[in-house]
Structure 1
Amino acid sequence: MQKSIDPAEGIMTVKILPGEFYVTKDNERIETILGSCIAACVRDPIAGLGGMNHFMLPVDKKASGAGELSDANRYGNYAMENLVNALLSKGARRERLEFKLFGGGRIMASMTNIGWYNIGFAFDYIYTEGFKIVAQDIGDVYPRKVIYYPNSGRARVRRLNKMHNESLAAQENQYIHNIESKPVEGDVELF
């Protein structure tokens, strides 16, 4: 996670990578770049609190109910629970949470369609938990840059052109290879 002041807007910008999430009540923006990954932007509009996660794979099929935060968040089942729990612990109310979903693109025809599995997981999670989706930009063939302002709930999405696809696909493939070979350890409770 990188933090810096955006010169154009003059506010703190937090850049998150796959397997990370960030929650804030401050006047900040959170941004990430997505290919087949999903980012959920979640907000309690009354509490003025929100956050974003970025996950690469839908579920850890070998989950034993525990995972080190940074490693576990590579999977949607951990990333969603950890983001929601962090919001609730800072004062958000479950019944007021609003979700915006982004990503899940099939950025290379030769790649598996992991983006659709990610999208399916995200919708299943949100509907099973009784949350509401207020906006989305998912699927298709584009990588995306997402900028989210948790205080206001505003989200900006820029669909990136195809010249970025090959480098993003290579990064995603390397990330998948790395996370599949690394065990998930630690203390995270799923419920």
Structure 2
Amino acid sequence: MKPSARGLDQAAGRNTSDGYYDSRFLAQAIKILPGEFRATGEDLMLVTVLGSCVAACVHDPVALVGGMNHFMLPEGPDGSLGGDSARYGSYAMEVLINELFKLGARRERLEAKVAGGGAVLPGMTFNPVGDRNGRFAIDYLRAEGIRVVAQDLFDVFPRRVHFFPASGRMLVKRLPAVESNELVRREEQYRRRVDRRPAESSIELF
């Protein structure tokens, strides 16, 4: 079993070390919350729920390592990487890929699957944050020479994502739009909390 790398969002002071057993999938599961990431070669499942946020799941099929992030905005307010906070896509993508390299991944072998970016925020019709998040993820990965082999982006659905980093398998469940209100509330709550701190192959639908 390969060693794992615990994702740490230093600005939020939160890591992804705690998990639970999912009897449906017969797998040890780790929840990835907004502003978190994890890279690992362990035989486990990474799980997150997305509204306007985006998760990139990146996998090396030779090294059998992979990882997931969950970011809320493409970049910091000044267009920077967003300090050392994985709530910004520019940092979340960079740190996840670097952690995979530490586990033996090679850039030329990396494959990415991307989900989220739903238009779930009320009143956001012009340049919505979900659309910006999704387009940023695709553009970033292409610029880095990482193949995007599958995506489930945009539309109005919140989503639950299950990713198996050792195999690269990804499952996406589109949740009813009526569940958006609670998800939006949680995303807004998290965004307000962290903003008060200084910034430092195919998808299976089931």
TM-score, normalized by the shorter chain, greater than 0.5: yes
Q: Structure 1 residues 140, 10: closer, same or farther in 2, change over 3 A?
A: same
1:45 corresponds to which letter in structure 2?
P
Matched, 1:144 2:159: yes
Within a 5 Å distance, the mapping from 1:22-171 to structure 2 comes to 22-62=38-78, 67-68=83-84, 72-111=85-124, 113-171=128-186
Q: In structure 1, list runs of 5 or more residues that go unmatched.
A: 186-191
Q: Secondary structure at the match of 1:123?
A: helix
Within a 5 Å distance, the mapping from 1:165-184 to structure 2 comes to 165-184=180-199
What residue in structure 2 maps to residue 188 of structure 1? none
1:91 corresponds to which letter in structure 2?
G
1:53-108, CA deviations, whole angstroms, 9 ceiling, x for partnerless residues? Answer: 0000000133766834xxx1000000000000000011100110000000000014
What residue in structure 1 maps to residue 10 of structure 2? none
User: 1:40, 1:99 within 8 Å by CA — same for their partners in 2?
Assistant: yes
User: 2:132, 2:26 → 1: CA distance?
Assistant: 37
Q: Secondary structure at the match of 1:175?
A: helix
**Which range moved further: 154-163 or 1-10?**
1-10
Q: Secondary structure at the match of 2:74?
A: coil
User: 2:59, 2:66 within 8 Å by CA — same for their partners in 1?
Assistant: yes
1:162-190, CA deviations, whole angstroms, 9 ceiling, x for partnerless residues? Answer: 221111111112222223222122xxxxx
TM-score (norm. length: structure 1): 0.89
User: 1:65, 1:7 → 2: CA distance?
Assistant: 38
1:83 corresponds to which letter in structure 2?
L
Number of aligned residues: 182
User: 2:135, 2:153 → 1: CA distance?
Assistant: 11
Measured on the aligned residues, the alpha-carbon RMSD in Å equals: 1.6
Residue 121 of structure 1: how far off its partner (Å): 1.0
Residue 16 of structure 1: how far off its partner (Å): 0.6
User: 1:108, 1:141 within 8 Å by CA — same for their partners in 2?
Assistant: no
Percent same amino acid among aligned pairs?
A: 47
Give the structure with the larger helix fraction: 1
1:33 corresponds to which letter in structure 2?
V
Q: Secondary structure at the match of 1:92?
A: coil
Q: Secondary structure at the match of 2:48?
A: strand
Q: In structure 2, list runs of 5 or more residues that go unmatched.
A: 1-15, 201-206
